[in-house]
Structure 1
Amino acid sequence: MIKKKLSLIIVCLFLFSASETFAQSRKEKKAAKNAVAKVDPKAADAKKEPKPYKKVIDSTAVTQNGLIIVHKVDKKYLFEIPDSILGSEMMTITRYSKTPAGGAIFGGEEINRQVVRWEKGMNNNILLRSITYVIMSPDEDKPLAQAVKNSTSDPIIGNYDVLAYKKDADGKITGYVLDLSTTFDADVQTFSLDPIKKQMLNIQAFQKDRSFISKVSSFPINTEIRSVKTFTTTPPRINATPTPKIGIDLPSALDAGVVTMEMNTSMILLPKTPMRKREFDARVGYFANQFGVFEEESQKSDTKVFAVRWRLEPKSTEDAQKQKNGELIEPLKPIVYYIDPATPEKWKKYIKQGIDDWQVAFEAAGWKNAIRGEYWPENDPTMSLEDARFSVLRYFAAEIQNAYGPNVHDPRSGEILESHIGWYHNIMSLLRNWYLIQTAAANPEARAKKFDDKLMGELIRFVSSHEVGHTLGLRHNMGASSATPVEKLRDKDFVAKNGHTSSIMDYARFNYVAQPEDGVTDFFPKIGDYDKWAIKWGYSYFEDAKTEKAEKAILNEMTKEAYKNNRLWFGTETSPYDPRYQTEDIGDNAMRASEYGIKNLKRILPNLLEWSTEKGESYSELDELYTALTGQFRRYMGHVTKNVGGIYDSPKTYDMTGNQFTVVPKSIQKDAVTFLNTQLFTTPKWLLNQDILSKINPESGVEAVKSMQDATLSSLLAGDRMVRLLESSSISKDNYSVDELITDLNKGIFLELKGSGSIDIYRRNIQKLYVDKLVELLKPGTATVRSVPVGVTYGFSTKKVNLSQTDLPSVARGQLIALRNDLKTSSGRMSDRMSKFHVLDLISRISLALDPK
């Protein structure tokens, strides 16, 4: 049986082998027969050669001349890249044109920007590279420059076959015809959504069959490419066990399973000669750009940091001389902002006024008519709101209560090229709430559910000026308001002349210090002394300065002189420790300013019901205003708290006197703790207006008060603040210490221990909170301490501090032992049952913490 099977297998193998041999023989014969029809590699390459220009761009082509020449042939766009721009750098800016609703993204908002460069490839092709400025070498002909090039390879984001060459009469190539469909109706990240944005919107795969280039327009210095892109989205998950999910579900995606959006990419040619850089100075608040610089003769690499600003230049040398002699002149190219035609008609003039208000600041720099707002022209087909040649204030139909002012600048020089300010419709709701809560006590105009158009228009004008300031290169100056003495905020004549802050770039909002009896009528900021100085610093034209170094020397002398007036000081928005640099504060003393502010809140609170009433409506408006009022109270607590463990940071240079960093005086820190003991830790029962709370909340306010106290105590005893107190008190006994802080808190929070009276629920709550936080300091763990290094533009340096290896646990233990003794002494005097239980509980908590065994 085995032999038969073996024979059968052999026969099968033979037949299979014979079959394979026969088949192979047939293939070989067929190949030999068709050998003459094979195309050699050179012939294949020959088919890829560009065709004659007129074969590709025939008589049916519709052509647009511009930066890139665009031909529409049949239904396809072909792009002709002029030879003259090969190697030149271009800025590409991609914005949403139309967006799906519900994703907090809006037409006109920027998606991304990138510098790119066209260059020749190896074989009838053109490459598109993405350029990132990280390091540079000014010595292009020196050996070090090659090392820099070797460390800065730029990614290729497009590789395009040349369909046809355009040649002049002498046969010289002047242009390269390309099909860019593989880039602009595809999902190339540079001109589409990056992975983070996709995650935020739960976007998945790109749908090529529902995506296309819809329009291309070309102009002398830019080309605009509009595309429609469709994506699938992550389907919603329904699980018994909830799982984390990134992003949001767009309503249209839930309906259709896909989302479609329109994007516009502007490709704009960067100046052939970059604007001269103006070196960044930490004493003046400008946005900045930077890159590493490697010079042949230097002994170390350097970082070039330079201000971001528009290019303003005289029209002629004669004009430059006139300006030098003190005469105002018009710039060669003024700064123009257009107002989105979608803006409600009645607000347009106020937005324009907010733009034009900056003219007075540019006059301080020697320019007239340097900046203006204009209404978008009707029915002009040569203009597009997404066109990178135009700066536009875009109006968004959104519930977001905000506005923002970005800019697009040349990364080589900091030259601002254009800006698209974002303006959300509901900014008016935020303005109404701020203005009412901060000024209604002294300002009858603010006592309304809906402001009249003139008042709202002036508030819009103020925000317009602030956002335009950002697009001029100015950062927030959070220190500006600290230059105004608190009592001057009550001086009608002073405020009318100077405003309540020296800069509209501060987050000083409105004058909440002015009392009803003061007669103040000016409540919101205007272009101030600092703003005029900052524009003078950034936009003065120095005809005699032939180099960046010479210009820096002139500016340094100007800045040192300006520094003699603290109304011209800049205060960074990033300082974690300087109490002068805070948002939403005004005046030079947070305790006095906040005390006046609270007096006004106490006047406003009883009127909220009247000022929010509308028949047939729920109490949601009252709830919104009460939330705004308590939020304002919380801000006051934050303003005061920052003084504790505070460090003044006043940027200095070697040729100035004094130290950059100084400790906030002990007397001010003690005043801050006294304020908190009085205004917050002693129950602010005036906030608990039951006539209001009973209409908006089922609770009576006990937990709400505890939440405010908890937040402030947590901030006061935060690890980084403890480190600053420990370090500053080690320098001098005249500086406030951790031990003194806790001693002062004890006096306010445990005031009842001196008598035999009862302790109510609010005080019992804060005392428990406080003891628990002291107990936590026995094992404090680590703290992240942030600081702003000198000479750094933005951001922090951080270090970890092991608090267990500092004096903090020692101080906490000593204070807890002393507090336990005081509690034991007072427990015998307590006659109120709940108060006695409370004190015994605290004794037990402390004992357990001190001796866990």
Structure 2
Amino acid sequence: MIKKTVSVIMVFLFVFSVQDTFAQSRKKKKADKNATTKVETKAPETKKEPKPYSKVIDTTAVTQNGLIIVHKIDNKYLFEIPDSIIGSEIMTITRYSKTPAGGGIFGGEEINRQVVRWEKGLNNNILLRSVTYVIMSTDESKPLAQAVKNSTSDPIIGNYDVLAYKKDASGKITGYVLDLSTAFDADVQTFSLDPIKKQLLNIQTFQKDKSFISKVSSFPLNTEIRSVKTFTTTPPKINTTPTPKIGVDLPSALDAGVVTLELNTSMILLPKVPMRKREFDARVGYFANQYGVFEEESQKSDTKVFAVRWRLEPKSPEDAQKQKNGELIEPLKPIVYYIDPATPDKWKKYIKEGIDDWQVAFEAAGWKNAIRGEYWPENDPTMSLEDARFSVLRYFAAEIQNAYGPNVHDPRSGEILESHIGWYHNIMSLLRNWYLIQTAAVDPAARAKKFDDKLMGELIRFVSSHEVGHTLGLRHNMGASSATPVEKLRDKEYQAKNGHTSSIMDYARFNYVAQPEDGVTDLFPRIGDYDKWAIKWGYSYFEDVNTEKEEKAKLNEMTKEAYKNNRLWFGTETSPYDPRYQTEDIGDNAMRASEYGIKNLKRILPNLLEWSSEKGESYSELDELYGALTGQFRRYMGHVTKNVGGIYDSPKTYDMTGNQFTVVPKSIQKDAVLFLNTQLFTTPKWLLDQNVLSKINPENGVEAIKAMQDATLSSLMAGDRMVRLLESSAASKENYSVDELITDLNKGIFSELKTSAAVDMYRRNIQKLYVDKLIELLKPGSTTVRSVPVGVSYGFTTRKVNLAQTDLPSIARGQLISLRNNLKVSSAKIADRMTKYHVLDLVARINEGLDPK
């Protein structure tokens, strides 16, 4: 209603405004009817012709040679574009250098990246185009290539007059002097913030008089432009309606009415000959790039999908032969990550160790010293943290509990050019909570409000390795942890040798399964078997392979052999239905692993008060840890729930045996429902430790328990899960069905019906929730079912299913009638007053649901 009213008002104001303007226009026209109209003509501006080079770049110019030659004259920068890079493709990467506080943005973070190309204009000018890779032709000499060009016009983002031509002794033009201030001290989107980022920061109009280029540095393969940009901001409004607020009011903007940002744009020349692409394989978890391909002899267009990875090559043919013979060799150009000097000194060595830990994986691919961490050199004027030549782990003074590992790559080939890992200071808080809640039952070092430096350092090292893995091109492998049998998680020798997961790229944080009596001390993830295999797949150098097609065939044979070992399997992070591919889980059976995890939570909970205490402080730390513990418990419920209606998705190719998709066995799905009936729907009263709750919450936990049960029931009975159960049970009577699921839930949630025993408030709540959800299934509406397409890198296909036209309402009606009959029979035997009221209420709800008035 509010939105509609506002729309009507806006339309009224618009019409009124237009009419008023028109009326004024008519009045003015009438008054001037007899006046003589005088047309003033302005002579067109004469285009300034280029001047002699020495007149523009005089003896006062301070010149830097590099990719772009930069001349500073007084306080103005002029840019000389060498003729040799006209038509070449250049990657531009713009990052924040300095940011205002309070906006969730930090110096060092990437804002924008694009490929650009300089080209000659028609009249003493140079154009700058933005290049987008969507479709390409494979042979520029064929007629089809022209059709591709006709469909791929690149936008012009800059048009610059040539101030002077640089010529050699023979008179040949070798360079073009331009004034690019309109690109870098203005608001050109390629070198600034895009409209969405501006909306998120409530940024409005660019302030030219408060913006300028502050520094330019040029190097052989790149040029760095530092600029200061000032914008007005959206003034805050008094919000008298419940409409959502878009954007962040930056504190400095509230004080001054404007906001100033410092940005750095790197312009880096892309390789003249792109690296050979390595075709994407869904069986190995690499980030990918893609574009459409049109071939002259093909009968349809194709999509070229290729892995994102660094270029590692031997220094010489002799080295290549040594590697082929099994000897480790050093690459021509190793992968180097620098550590931000703003990083606290005591953590730098652990971050470096996390980087260096990947050396063992590269050795599996035939390289030694292929990757290393380095401390940022002091007082080196040739180096900048924003310089795209250098990969840097940037440390952010932020309350965010996270870290991330992006990369910048050549869109033509997937070659990674550099990476700036983002590291937020408060990641340590998250690590403390994770480790304490998951391992304090077995590791005494975890039983503290503040961890000692060695333990925190090792936690930092683990995160460093994980984020570096992403910058090497590796995606999350959420299936890696499912390769470890649950009982092996309690095996001290096995854990010492193999760790609890086969990949550090999984979200398998710490070993929460190990019990105090097991003696397991290896609780951290590490570079595992899958990581070594994935690096081997991505970074092996094949000296005797000449084409992408030959390379694909060789890699396919390697992959088929690797897939004989399930520790080398990849499990996509995007699967909505494979229970092996989940975050925060470990082991090959979620029910058994979660049962062990809950045993440890029961040991930890009574100690939270002691482990969080500090004299003179409030109970906020206890509140945070209790929230982390209940969050861990909810994760266990989610891990188990995904087995119900689950589908195993094991990527296959035509030359492999077996099906890609198989239904999770009925026995496992029934075990999952039994677990939920036992651990959640039967009230987990152990979570209601009043010694804790009475210090952090005025409530006693009744609603908190109900919320957990509600969330899991909603997930269990979600439309997409119902569709998968209906589909699989139609395929075979051996598969679990919707009717069996509801029958099993009835047995657990209404177990008191057998004995007509009293039902307490917690159980009454879950029974009401359950009946209401069953009634909702009588008119279930539509649902969206997502699937991961075979053989692709990312994304989903979706389809709408009208659940009212399935068996779901029929099953719900039959189950409700049966439940109503059982409730009626039980009600006659119930002695407890509240229980009788409750049962009669349920019968009334069911009656109304089945036959609404």
Q: TM-score range by the shorter chain?
A: over 0.9
Q: Which residue of 2 aligns with 1:484?
A: 484
Q: Does residue 538 of the first structure (1) align with residue 521 of the second (2)?
A: no
Q: Which residue of 2 aligns with 1:510?
A: 510
Q: Could you tell me how far 1:755 is from its partner in structure 2?
A: 1.1
Superposed CA deviations along residues 356-413 of structure 1, whole A, max 9, x for unmatched, are: 0000000000000000000000000000000000000000000000000000000000
Q: Which residue of 1 aligns with 2:287?
A: 287
Counterpart-to-counterpart distance in 2, 1:838 and 1:208: 70
Superposed CA deviations along residues 593-639 of structure 1, whole A, max 9, x for unmatched, are: 00000000000000000000000000000000000000000000000
Q: Which residue of 2 aligns with 1:608?
A: 608
Q: Which residue of 1 aligns with 2:664?
A: 664
Superposed CA deviations along residues 197-239 of structure 1, whole A, max 9, x for unmatched, are: 1111111111111011000000000000000001111111114
Counterpart-to-counterpart distance in 1, 2:406 and 2:331: 23
Q: Could you tell me how far 1:49 is from its partner in structure 2?
A: 1.0
Superposed CA deviations along residues 301-359 of structure 1, whole A, max 9, x for unmatched, are: 00000000000000000000000000000000000000000000000000000000000
Counterpart-to-counterpart distance in 1, 2:211 and 2:138: 43
Amino acid aligned to 1:400: I
Counterpart-to-counterpart distance in 1, 2:164 and 2:308: 41
Amino acid aligned to 2:173: I
Matched ranges for 1:77-116 at <5 A: 77-116=77-116
Q: Which residue of 2 aligns with 1:440?
A: 440
Q: Does residue 824 of the first structure (1) align with residue 824 of the second (2)?
A: yes
Amino acid aligned to 1:818: S
Amino acid aligned to 1:247: G
Q: Which residue of 2 aligns with 1:348?
A: 348
Matched ranges for 1:228-247 at <5 A: 228-247=228-247
Counterpart-to-counterpart distance in 2, 1:240 and 1:442: 53
Counterpart-to-counterpart distance in 1, 2:442 and 2:215: 55
Q: Which residue of 1 aligns with 2:840?
A: 840
Q: Which residue of 1 aligns with 2:405?
A: 405
Q: Does residue 640 of the first structure (1) align with residue 640 of the second (2)?
A: yes
Q: Could you tell me how far 1:74 is from its partner in structure 2?
A: 1.4
Q: Does residue 620 of the first structure (1) align with residue 610 of the second (2)?
A: no
Counterpart-to-counterpart distance in 2, 1:684 and 1:234: 49
Counterpart-to-counterpart distance in 1, 2:580 and 2:681: 24
Counterpart-to-counterpart distance in 1, 2:500 and 2:358: 18
Amino acid aligned to 1:102: G
Q: Could you tell me how far 1:20 is from its partner in structure 2?
A: 6.6
Amino acid aligned to 2:295: E
Q: Secondary structure at the match of 1:366?
A: coil
Amino acid aligned to 1:512: Y
Q: Could you tell me how far 1:240 is from its partner in structure 2?
A: 3.2
Q: Secondary structure at the match of 1:95?
A: strand
Counterpart-to-counterpart distance in 1, 2:706 and 2:239: 36
Segments of structure 1 that go 5 or more residues without pairing to the other structure are 1-15, 32-37
Q: Could you tell me how far 1:241 is from its partner in structure 2?
A: 3.0
Matched ranges for 1:194-593 at <5 A: 194-593=194-593
Q: Which residue of 1 aligns with 2:140?
A: 140
Amino acid aligned to 2:690: Q
Counterpart-to-counterpart distance in 2, 1:676 and 1:473: 38
Amino acid aligned to 2:533: W
Q: Does residue 652 of the first structure (1) align with residue 649 of the second (2)?
A: no
Superposed CA deviations along residues 158-193 of structure 1, whole A, max 9, x for unmatched, are: 000000000000000000000011110011111111
Q: Secondary structure at the match of 1:838?
A: helix
Counterpart-to-counterpart distance in 2, 1:233 and 1:827: 66
Q: Secondary structure at the match of 1:228?
A: strand
Amino acid aligned to 2:326: G
Superposed CA deviations along residues 81-106 of structure 1, whole A, max 9, x for unmatched, are: 00000000000000000000000100
Amino acid aligned to 1:161: D
Q: Which residue of 1 aligns with 2:782?
A: 782
Counterpart-to-counterpart distance in 1, 2:176 and 2:55: 14
Amino acid aligned to 1:561: E
Matched ranges for 1:58-207 at <5 A: 58-207=58-207
Counterpart-to-counterpart distance in 2, 1:669 and 1:245: 43
Q: Does residue 50 of the first structure (1) align with residue 45 of the second (2)?
A: no
Counterpart-to-counterpart distance in 1, 2:564 and 2:244: 55
Counterpart-to-counterpart distance in 2, 1:634 and 1:131: 47
Counterpart-to-counterpart distance in 1, 2:846 and 2:518: 50
Q: Which residue of 2 aligns with 1:12?
A: none
Counterpart-to-counterpart distance in 1, 2:655 and 2:36: 93
Counterpart-to-counterpart distance in 2, 1:664 and 1:334: 44
Q: Which residue of 1 aligns with 2:25?
A: none
Aligned CA distance change for structure 1 residues 546 and 239 (closer, same or farther; 3 Å): closer
Superposed CA deviations along residues 795-833 of structure 1, whole A, max 9, x for unmatched, are: 111000000000000000000000000000001111111
Q: Secondary structure at the match of 1:81?
A: strand
Counterpart-to-counterpart distance in 1, 2:750 and 2:549: 61
Q: Could you tell me how far 1:244 is from its partner in structure 2?
A: 3.0
Q: Secondary structure at the match of 1:174?
A: strand
Aligned CA distance change for structure 1 residues 261 and 663 (closer, same or farther; 3 Å): same
Q: Secondary structure at the match of 1:224?
A: strand
Counterpart-to-counterpart distance in 2, 1:583 and 1:376: 34
Matched ranges for 1:746-761 at <5 A: 746-761=746-761
Q: Could you tell me how far 1:256 is from its partner in structure 2?
A: 0.6
Aligned residues between the structures: 821
Q: TM-score, normalised by structure 1?
A: 0.95
Superposed CA deviations along residues 454-486 of structure 1, whole A, max 9, x for unmatched, are: 000000000000000000000000000000000
Q: Secondary structure at the match of 2:725?
A: helix
Counterpart-to-counterpart distance in 2, 1:338 and 1:134: 33
Superposed CA deviations along residues 620-661 of structure 1, whole A, max 9, x for unmatched, are: 000000000000000000000000000000000000000000
Q: Could you tell me how far 1:584 is from its partner in structure 2?
A: 0.2
Aligned CA distance change for structure 1 residues 20 and 423 (closer, same or farther; 3 Å): closer
Q: Secondary structure at the match of 2:458?
A: helix
Counterpart-to-counterpart distance in 2, 1:71 and 1:78: 5
Give the stretch that moved more between structures: 465-474 or 196-205. Answer: 196-205
Q: Which residue of 1 aligns with 2:17?
A: none
Counterpart-to-counterpart distance in 2, 1:239 and 1:140: 58
Q: Could you tell me how far 1:138 is from its partner in structure 2?
A: 1.1
Amino acid aligned to 1:66: G
Q: Secondary structure at the match of 1:593?
A: helix
Q: Which residue of 2 aligns with 1:34?
A: none
Q: Which residue of 2 aligns with 1:682?
A: 682
Q: Does residue 725 of the first structure (1) align with residue 725 of the second (2)?
A: yes
Give the stretch that moved more between structures: 827-836 or 268-277. Answer: 827-836
Q: Secondary structure at the match of 2:70?
A: strand
Counterpart-to-counterpart distance in 1, 2:56 and 2:714: 71
Amino acid aligned to 2:180: L
Q: Say what the alpha-carbon RMSD is for the aligned residues.
A: 1.4
Q: Could you tell me how far 1:245 is from its partner in structure 2?
A: 2.2
Counterpart-to-counterpart distance in 2, 1:378 and 1:833: 78
Q: Secondary structure at the match of 1:319?
A: helix
Amino acid aligned to 1:208: K
Q: Which residue of 1 aligns with 2:13?
A: none
Superposed CA deviations along residues 755-793 of structure 1, whole A, max 9, x for unmatched, are: 122100000000000000000000000000000010111
Counterpart-to-counterpart distance in 2, 1:791 and 1:203: 42
Amino acid aligned to 2:673: V
Q: Which residue of 1 aligns with 2:805?
A: 805
Counterpart-to-counterpart distance in 2, 1:473 and 1:756: 60
Aligned CA distance change for structure 1 residues 239 and 397 (closer, same or farther; 3 Å): closer
Q: Could you tell me how far 1:242 is from its partner in structure 2?
A: 4.3
